[in-house]
Amino acid sequence: MKQLRRRIFEIIEVAHEGDKASAAYDWGMIVVIVASLVPLAFKEQTPALAVLDRVSVAVFILDYALRLLTADLKLQKGALSFLLYPVTVLAILDLLCILPSFAPVSGGLRLLKIIRLLRTFRVLRAAKMLRYSRSLVLIVDVIREQKAPLIAVGTVAAAYILISALVIFNVEPDSFGSFFDAVYWATVSLTTVGYGDIYPTSTAGRLIAMISSVLGIAIVALPSGIITAGYLEKIRQGGGRRTKQKKKEDKSDEKADL
């Protein structure tokens, strides 16, 4: 029984490279997750869509049960693991993927089914033997390492939006019915989207809009530049480590030949 639980844990969690059963499970979960999102694309539920939803929910329940069954192997806290696992972030996410499909809550919580899409990233992360999953882990590491500058840029963007909204709201009170409308306009101006549903009409307001759009380009470009620089640096470091490892292997081979 213990060996069976260990094998189940290896299949549903991160396993060794070359584990075909784990890879098949990961790909199967991806297919189920994508299939479970299909009913959300239709306003009316047909019998076929209802069956698809029930089957996908049944798979999610089975997956949740298997993870709960092997919680002690994951958390390494003995019997206490079975009590702690349901309150972990990923377990709560799994539960939120299941609950909206039940009749008592499906009416008001249909939007929560979108959370199932987040499970795709979890499965991709678990399937480490897949090439593209390594890139995703690398991007997550870059964002984690560049957290401080990204937070700083986000703070600057938020301050810029509020200041722009205050300025335009006082310059053109007739064009903006509320301060929230001004914040909405400042946000779409910062991102240079400009839907055109709310816009300034006076010369001063248009001048502010021009400045807001130009500065918005610079502020929006900062996060992408930070992440790109960190990503390239991470790749360079990885390449350096591979080169050093290769040199060590060559030296080991030379010593073996001697």
Q: Which of 140, 164, 146 is nearest to 223 (CA)?
A: 146
- The CA distance from 251 to 245, in Å, is 10
8-state DSSP, 105: H
Report pLDDT digits (tens) over 27-56: 888 888 878 877 767 767 788 988 988 898
| Structural domains for the chain | 2-129 (1.20.120), 147-257 (1.10.287.70)
Report pLDDT digits (tens) over 147-190: 888 888 889 888 888 888 888 888 888 888 888 888 898 888 88
SS3 label, residue 46: coil
Residues in CB range of 5: below 8 A, 6 or more apart: 69, 70, 73
pTM over 0.85: no
Query: For all residues of the chain together, what is the average pLDDT?
Result: 76
DSSP codes of every residue in 210-234:
HHHHHHHHHHHHHHHHHHHHHHHHH
